[in-house]
Amino acid sequence: MTTKTSELLAVVAPRTVAVVQGVTDDQLDLPTPCSDYTVRGLLGHLYDVVVNFQALAARREVDWSAKTDHLTEGWRDRFAAETGRLIEAWADPAALEGVSAGMGLPQATVGDMALIDLTVHGWDLARATGQPFEVDPAVLAAGHGFMDRMGDTGQRMGAFGPPVPAEGDATPLDRLLGRTGRNPAWGG
């Protein structure tokens, strides 16, 4: 069984996993377009995202404040495995029903949050480490739909920085990045 959320996660996940697996140890202290994080910090956050959103799919509460060092032996392969489990968790149609007890949002919105995090943070890491990162048009469309619904709220809550205006010839990815507070031209 699949859902639209799991299908979109399955499209972006291999691209983000490839970027994570391409990060070298000597790049861990580099800055990222997500100004709160170095590559190491963003990898830890993204690991928390894929694990915690598995729990959220099952309507379990999560502790975002728990800080675990995920970058231990075999972390790249563990990230790939956890990302696969994230897709599986959102493939259950029940994961999209009702309201999240922990977040008070529709479960479908919570699933979209996982998608936007996997997409945007995948780009952050790719940009910081000089790797390519392409985003499928369907994922971009879902990301823009999410930002239409939740962008202002996310900005007020500190999840997104102030929007970066898009240039006239901006791509859909550039516009999505700008809406999340990133400068698509970021160069480290």
Q: What is the pLDDT of residues 18-42, one digit of tens each?
A: 999 999 999 999 999 988 899 999 9
CA 20 – CA 129 distance, rounded (Å): 10
For residue 112, tell me if it sits in a domain: yes
pLDDT at 81 over 80: yes
For residue 165, tell me if it sits in a domain: no
For residue 140, tell me if it sits in a domain: no
Helix 107-129, helix 172-179: angle, nearest 10? 110
For residue 188, tell me if it sits in a domain: no
For residue 147, tell me if it sits in a domain: no
Structural domain including 56 reads 4-135
State the CATH number of the domain containing residue 49. Answer: 1.20.120.450
Q: What is the pTM of this model?
A: 0.95
For residue 177, tell me if it sits in a domain: no
For residue 175, tell me if it sits in a domain: no
Under 8 Å between Cβ of 173 and 147: no
CA 63 – CA 167 distance, rounded (Å): 38
Q: What is the pLDDT of residues 143-183, one digit of tens each?
A: 999 999 999 999 998 889 999 998 889 999 999 999 999 99
For residue 41, tell me if it sits in a domain: yes
Domains: count for the chain? 1
